[in-house]
Structure 1
Amino acid sequence: MPKSLFWSRTDTAGAEHVSFDDRQGLTARGTVLAADPVPYTCRYQLTTGPDWATTRLEVEAEGAGWSRSVRLERAGDGWRVRTGEEGDLDAALRAAGHPPAGLPGTDDPDRLADALDVDLGGSPLFNTLPVRRLGLARGPADQPRRLTVAWVLVPSLVVVPAEQVYSSLGPARVRFASDTFTADLDVDPEGFVVRYPGLAERAAPR
């Protein structure tokens, strides 16, 4: 992996580090640490095709007394989803005053059929997938692009289809919207997030 990036979370105590190769699509291995809703470590491995459409994502999340995993693979006939679970995340969430998480994965992978991208909750890396696939980082201001993603909630690893909208605001600026949420992202020339208001900021290399 010839490159790496590091973000500090601004919404909670936490950080993300990813090592990656983006010469022919994206191959990446990353680790996310966060304190909310319960302290957890999340590790992922991501692979896309040369067109930056996701072909595979493996995620493992763990905390005190629990661990979960999910694997998403996109084939010609749709997405395949496999999950694993040990311990009791719901007990940890209840102890912290949060509602139960539900089971990891999805009971109906066909609901993900329209998704070309995945989105791992709390990770600014995954915004790069549609930005690169749609060529939004370097282009002029453009019409909004509406798409469906396979959204992996963290730390539950529940997978749901989500509608998201990306709009180029000109070079190095991309607007992201989902439901009532909107954020204007600062990105570098390669489409990687530099600043995600309310979520994360990238650390400059020394």
Structure 2
Amino acid sequence: MLTEDPNTAFVNIKYRSGVIVMTAIGTVGISKDPLYKDRVNFTGNTYHKLIAFILRNNTLSDAGIYTAVLTIPNRTIGSQMLIVKASPSKPQIVELEGPAVNGTNYHLNCSALSSSQPPNHNLSMFSEWRRDDMLISSSGRYIVSGTELTITSLSYKQYNGSALSCVAFEDQLVKSVNSDTFIMDVK
């Protein structure tokens, strides 16, 4: 039981700033805050400590920690981080170990910044690479890992003047625009 008198116990769902997004008692949830009123739904039963709320039409400013606080006694009964995904910034192709040299391994990074909120999310970034508009996969001379591309045993004849581009993905669902074209200059 949440309290000795279940008719007086209710749960406040609070946003990280302390704003009460919704108040729930029993199986009824009410939101009075104009920022949330028409966007939040409650399901569950506060008496049984089984509660859920759904926030629709999320914006980046909705991201953060939401906490369920039982009012009698005053204690936190759970919290959840809402991550709002957004496209990463336009990536830049960066040489990791100097210029391209014939016969060596060539290491590149598809560098993009996350736009998802909050900043301390745990989403992973990875990249998709193209050479002369053809998708590159890990095979043969190519090793694709996360945001990096390694071309092994670089060949001047095969790669000089090739056009590389990349796209950054975050959590496999949101992607950036294409990077600018990077023209390989093999020495």
TM-score under structure 1 length normalisation: 0.22
Between Structure 1 and Structure 2, the one with more strand by share is 1
Q: Which has the higher contact order (CA 8 A, sep 6+)?
A: 2
Between Structure 1 and Structure 2, the one with more helix by share is 1
Q: Report the structure number with the largest CA radius of gyration.
A: 2
